[in-house]
Amino acid sequence: MSRFSAPIAEQIWDMKYRFKEADGTPLDRTVEDTWRRIARSLADVEEDKAHWEDVFYAALEDFKFLPAGRITAGAGTERSVTLFNCFVMGTVPDSMGGIFDMLKEAALTMQQGGGIGYDFSTIRPKGADVLGVAADASGPLSFMDVWDAMCRTIMSAGSRRGAMMATMRCDHPDIEAFITAKSDAARLRMFNMSVLVTDPFMDAVKAGKSWDLKFNGKVYHTVEARDLWNKIMTATYNYAEPGVIFIDRINQMNNLNYCETIAATNPCGEQPLPPYGACLLGSINLAKLVAAPFEDGAVLDVSELEALVAAAVRMMDNVVDASNFPLEAQRQEAQAKRRIGLGVTGLADALLMVGLEYGTDKAAAQTEAWLHSVARASYRASVALAKEKGAFPLFDAEKYLASGAMQQMDEDVRAEIAEHGIRNALLTSIAPTGTISLYAGNVSSGIEPVFAYAYKRKVLQKDGSRTEEEVVDYAVALWREKFGDKALPNYFVNAQTLAPSAHVKMQAAAQKWIDSSISKTINCPEDIDFDAFKDVYMQAWDTGCKGCTTYRPNDVTGSVLSVSEDEGKAPEVVANTDAEPQQPHGDVIYMAEPLERPKELEGATYKLRWPDSEHAIYLTVNDVVIGGHRRPFEVFINSKNMEHFAWTVALTRMISAVFRRGGDVSFVVEELKAVFDPRGGAWMGGKYIPSILAAIGGVIEKHMISIGFIEGEGMGLKQDPTSAVVGLDTPRGKSCPSCGQFDMRMIEGCMTCASCGHSKCG
């Protein structure tokens, strides 16, 4: 009998976590094989391997403990990948050589699948003097553009995508440009962005004082603090970015504030990390721990929770020793502090099972109590590990116990730490769990509310047809199993109906016992008043949160899905957008996975003659046709000039490989058009073309326009082609770049696809 409670769970496992040969032949025959592979790998560093393998397997079984995706996919595969989810890179030097050394380190880290965070506050502002070269600095945003292109290039080469986080201090002279950078929809698409907000700045905002923007002690501008705060709020109101990180609070509450200073976070914000800091993630599935769900005696089994936490902490501690690291500095940092990020998922479902309404005072109190139990169990398990294997190398009992977070820890736990030390410097974090929660049967994600009780998911088959299946929330499915068609109780609430203040209340309740931070999205209605929107951030500040991320649907950010319920019918997710449908020629069909090449393809051949070149270049672009709609499928580039032979063959293969992966591949055009030749470009058709590669990009763009794949010149990646899919007349929000479904939603700071689990954050 299958362990999977829903088809989407098995599909996620097969697509993302199942160990396969390079040719796609499965090595994990069942999900039990996956659990056994992980358990055996993480027990390999133990003396009693067989015993701990069985303990770890029992924790993984039935989706009770969910290691993060990189552990689930990589442990025991002998592949050269990192099992760590996220890294903060080294401090960016304020020099050209140092900056590009950091770029290389970032590329190496992302190549192994790690998400990275950077503080760009260390780069001098735009217009500052550059000594020795008689020039002005281009500023940190110009280098962020370089990072963005690097990330996009690695992604297009087929590596597991890794997200990036960029932070900048609220007193940097370029902070206003940083705040508004994403108003250009084509810029910095690979970054999440957050402003590092300090305590003095928040005090200045509340007091109505002025605020100095400075670098290396020099004041460049003075602004009104409230004006700058309003610019941050306006940008996030309109574009959902930048987020806000209360950086002084993070450093004050850090268990390691005696030996590190934090200035950046991982891409989703739940892991504030020092230079070269790394963290692995995992989640306890609370929805699996409720006894007698929906009955009068329903309760979360705390003893089972504590045992599960102890096994999870040991497993994650072993990952520190079992994992590869892209950089030696990352290995040294991880082993010196052995920080882990154990969190929870399924919180909202667990609350429903015990009869509590998410967002109420009672639910917040229960959340705090459950996470207190997780914190106690985590710290006691780490103390036990320290007795057996030794404390983390930088442990200093007096300084550690005097740190901000440890001062509120229970006295008996503090006494144990003082006597025996502790194995892991930090232990708890609430990470994004969008994909692994789908894998676990569509439990509610992290500490988020249930997004929708049920929705319809269309699955594109290899023959071009689509099948439809219902995806039901785990708690709702359990209710149906117990009570059939009986109406859901009034305490069943979802993300669409909750007030923003209820979201903040739950985040603050969870934060008290989380020593790192929390990845959470506060959903705001589209018509929320701007002053009320600003109050959300002030509530987050006033209630002790370490950061705040909101999402307000609009024409720029895209629509979220809403729930409609007709009497007698299952709840269903429908598109919620007033966007006008595109013209018929703009319809685009996305592929869920690469398709086999048909025997015949429609296409066109174009002749390109580069000035001063003896021979013309001929480009053939062939399209796949699905349901009468076309999208680029392959490219052939030919020339009699043998000097072009190697790079034209390489370009042919690479572009064709990208086209066959599906999704929005218009970025190929933008990347090619951005290439410049240091020897000079040429004037063609009244325009200056910076290189022959840019000219090729222009030809491919012309073809994409002719088949309706993009709307016009310069529209690649500037506007998602979200036209109606064949047979559907309903206007849609943003489509998933992986599977093409219109199921994108903002969860825990990441746009995540409910159909395939795709997420910008990995």
Pick from 539, 569, 600: which residue ends a domain? 539
DSSP string, 163-175: -EEEEEETTSTTH
Q: Determine how β-strand 682-684 pairs with β-strand 164-169.
A: unpaired
Residues 73 and 24 in one domain: yes
For the ranges 249-253, 427-431, 440-444, 644-648, the lowest mean pLDDT is seen at 644-648
At 751 the pLDDT is 72
At 579 the pLDDT is 29
Question: How far apart are alpha carbons 78 and 401 in whole angstroms?
Answer: 39
Q: Are 691 and 671 in contact (CB under 8 A)?
A: no
DSSP string, 589-655: ---SSPPPPPS--EEEEEEE--TT-SS-EEEEEEEEEETTEEEEEEEEEEES-GGGHHHHHHHHHHH
Residues 212 and 175 in one domain: yes
> Residues 750-760: what's their mean pLDDT?
70
Q: DSSP state, 313?
A: H
The tally of CA atoms less than 13 A away on the side-chain side of residue 565 is 12
* 270 a catalytic residue: yes
Nearest alpha-carbon partner for 302 in 255, 209, 389, 370: 370
Question: How far apart are alpha carbons 40 and 27 in whole angstroms?
Answer: 15
Question: How far apart are alpha carbons 267 and 273 in whole angstroms?
Answer: 11
Give a yes or no: residue 66 inside a domain.
yes
Beta strands in 153-251 (DSSP E): 164-169, 191-197, 210-215, 218-224, 243-246
Residue type, 461: Q
At 132 the pLDDT is 67
What percent of the chain shows pLDDT beyond 70? 85
Residues 122 and 223 in one domain: yes
Indicate the helix (H) or strand (E) that contains 188: none
Query: Residue 285 — φ and ψ, nearest 5°?
Result: -85, 95
* 643 a catalytic residue: no
Mean pLDDT of the chain: 85
Residues 78 and 112 in one domain: no
Higher local confidence (pLDDT), 676 or 165: 165
Residues 390 and 358 in one domain: yes
Higher local confidence (pLDDT), 577 or 458: 458
Higher local confidence (pLDDT), 158 or 464: 464
Instruction: Give the range of the structural domain holding residue 599, as residue numbers without chain letter.
Output: 584-706
Q: Are 477 and 9 in contact (CB under 8 A)?
A: no
Residues 342 and 421 in one domain: yes
The tally of CA atoms less than 13 A away on the side-chain side of residue 517 is 33
Q: DSSP state, 30?
A: S
Higher local confidence (pLDDT), 180 or 111: 180
Residues 245 and 339 in one domain: no
Give a yes or no: residue 480 inside a domain.
no
Token digits of residue 258: 């005696």
* Long-range CB contacts for residues 580-585, cutoff 8 Å, separation at least 24: 580/731, 581/723, 581/724, 581/729, 581/731, 582/711, 582/721, 582/722, 582/723, 582/724, 583/708, 583/723, 584/708, 585/707, 585/708
At 156 the pLDDT is 46
DSSP string, 705-762: HHTTSSSSTT-TTTS---PPPTT--S---PPPTTT--S-EEEETTEEEETTT--BTT-
Q: Are 46 and 38 in contact (CB under 8 A)?
A: no
pLDDT digits (tens, 9 = 90+) for 68-118: 988 999 999 988 778 887 899 989 999 989 999 999 998 888 877 778 999
Tell me the H-state helices in 428-499.
434-439, 474-483
388 has pLDDT over 80: yes
Residues 615 and 674 in one domain: yes
At 734 the pLDDT is 60
140 has pLDDT over 50: yes
Give a yes or no: residue 62 inside a domain.
yes
Give a yes or no: residue 575 inside a domain.
no
Question: How far apart are alpha carbons 58 and 60 in whole angstroms?
Answer: 5
Pick from 680, 706, 732: which residue ends a domain? 706
Give a yes or no: residue 16 inside a domain.
yes
595 has pLDDT over 70: no
What percent of the chain shows pLDDT beyond 90? 56
Residues 676 and 527 in one domain: no
Give a yes or no: residue 724 inside a domain.
no
pLDDT digits (tens, 9 = 90+) for 207-248: 999 999 999 999 999 999 999 999 999 999 998 899 999 999
What is the number of structural domains in the chain? 3
Higher local confidence (pLDDT), 626 or 329: 329
Residues 511 and 634 in one domain: no
Give a yes or no: residue 293 inside a domain.
yes
Indicate the helix (H) or strand (E) that contains 398: helix 397-401
Question: How far apart are alpha carbons 159 and 107 in whole angstroms?
Answer: 11
At 212 the pLDDT is 98
**Best mean pLDDT range from 54-68, 78-92, 739-753:** 54-68
Residues 390 and 511 in one domain: yes
Any idea which residue has 């004037």 for tokens? 683
User: pLDDT category, 711, cuts 50, 70, 90?
Assistant: confident
Question: How far apart are alpha carbons 267 and 136 in whole angstroms?
Answer: 31
User: pLDDT category, 558, cuts 50, 70, 90?
Assistant: low
At 562 the pLDDT is 40
Indicate the helix (H) or strand (E) that contains 507: helix 500-511
Burial 286-300 (b: 16+ CB within 10 A, else e): bbbbbeebbeeebeb
531 has pLDDT over 90: yes
Question: How far apart are alpha carbons 330 and 367 in whole angstroms?
Answer: 34
pLDDT digits (tens, 9 = 90+) for 355-384: 999 999 999 999 999 999 999 999 999 999
> Residues 187-198: what's their mean pLDDT?
92
Nearest alpha-carbon partner for 87 in 241, 274, 227, 245: 274
Pick from 539, 554, 576: which residue ends a domain? 539
pLDDT digits (tens, 9 = 90+) for 24-35: 899 999 999 999
Crossing angle between the packed helical segments 645-659 and 692-706, to the nearest 10 degrees: 30
CATH number at 423 reads: 3.20.70.20
State pTM to two decimals: 0.77
User: pLDDT category, 738, cuts 50, 70, 90?
Assistant: low
Give a yes or no: residue 292 inside a domain.
yes
User: pLDDT category, 647, cuts 50, 70, 90?
Assistant: confident
The tally of CA atoms less than 13 A away on the side-chain side of residue 308 is 28
Catalytic, out of 53, 241, 260, 270: 270
List 284's β-bridge partners, or say none. Answer: 65, 344
At 539 the pLDDT is 97
User: pLDDT category, 760, cuts 50, 70, 90?
Assistant: low
pLDDT digits (tens, 9 = 90+) for 390-431: 999 999 999 999 998 899 999 999 999 999 999 999 999 998
Residues 378 and 447 in one domain: yes
At 611 the pLDDT is 76
* 318 a catalytic residue: no
* Long-range CB contacts for residues 592-601, cutoff 8 Å, separation at least 24: 592/459, 592/460, 592/662, 592/738, 592/739, 592/740, 592/756, 593/462, 593/662, 594/660, 594/661, 594/662, 595/462, 595/624, 595/660, 596/462, 597/633, 597/634, 598/624, 601/625, 601/633, 601/634
pLDDT digits (tens, 9 = 90+) for 651-710: 888 888 888 876 678 888 888 888 877 677 787 777 778 888 889 999 999 998 888 888
> Residues 5-10: what's their mean pLDDT?
87
At 741 the pLDDT is 62
Catalytic, out of 254, 257, 266, 523: 266
Q: Which residues contact 572 (CB under 8 A, 6 or more apart)?
A: 454, 455, 456, 563, 564, 565, 566
Question: How far apart are alpha carbons 453 and 512 in whole angstroms?
Answer: 29
Catalytic, out of 268, 548, 739, 753: 268
Nearest alpha-carbon partner for 158 in 515, 635, 659, 526: 659
Distance of CA 690 to the CA centre of its chain: 34
